[in-house]
Amino acid sequence: MPNTQAMCTQFKADAMNGLHAFGPSVIRGATTKDAYKAALYLVSATRNAADTVYNSTGEVSGANYVAGGVAVTTAVAPSVSGTTAFFTPSASIVYTTVTLATAFDAVLLYNDTSATKLAVSVHTFGSQTVTAGTFTLTMPVNDSSNALVRIA
């Protein structure tokens, strides 16, 4: 069997777990996992792959919505299946009894532990408003084909 050029699958999961640093890194205060948050953005915002950190520009505002969004539950560590590493929050993301009168259509997942609030991913959905109600984002199946964040 010849040698085969490949990205080692374990590296993908290890990268998700912060075990590599090809460039200057940070001094971590602990070996515990980081805390993540999810912020909502207006249809008029321009969140995309170019985002490097959490940005309040274009974030929704309204009754009972706190800037920066809500905590994301990360009870299940990243996994690998086949050659894909993947991660999905382990619970729905819920904004309870909010009023968000201006249409929004995106959520930014970001690292709330990092000093600069490093961005992870942007996910879009159909335009919504909420009136004295609850906005719930239920996560996809946590597997190599559907997980919220996958490195294939």
Partner 1 sequence: MITTTRGLMDESLLKRVDSVVDNDNEHTTAVEYWDGDECVHRSVHVHLKRGIAFGVGEAGGVNA
Q: Which of 39, 88, 106, 119 binds partner 1 (CB under 8 A)?
A: 88
Q: How far is the CB of 15 from partner 1 (least distance, A)?
A: 9
Q: How far apart are CA 152 and CA 82, in angstroms?
A: 9
Q: How far apart are CA 94 and CA 130, in angstroms?
A: 12
Contact pattern from residue 110 through residue 139 relative to partner 1, giving x for each residue in contact according to CB under 8 A and a dash for the rest: -----------x-xxxx-xxxxxxxxxxxx
Q: Which two tokens stand for residue 39?
A: 């912020």
**Is 37 a residue that touches partner 1 (CB under 8 A)?**
no
Q: How far apart are CA 152 and CA 143, in angstroms?
A: 12
Q: How far is the CB of 22 from partner 1 (least distance, A)?
A: 14
Identity of the residue, 71 or 149, whose beta carbon is nearer to partner 1 in the bound complex: 149
Q: Candidates 2-10, 20-28, 53-61, 70-78 — which segment interacts with partner 1 by CB under 8 A?
A: 2-10
Torsion of CA 39, 94, 33, 84, to 10 degrees: -90
Q: How far apart are CA 150 and CA 49, in angstroms?
A: 15
SS3 81: strand
Q: How far is the CB of 30 from partner 1 (least distance, A)?
A: 27
SS3 12: helix
Q: How far apart are CA 85 and CA 79, in angstroms?
A: 6
Q: Candidates 51-59, 69-77, 110-118, 140-148 — which segment interacts with partner 1 by CB under 8 A?
A: 140-148
- Binding residues for partner 1, rule: CB under 8 A, are 5-7, 12, 49, 83-84, 86, 88, 97, 99, 121, 123-126, 128-140, 145-152
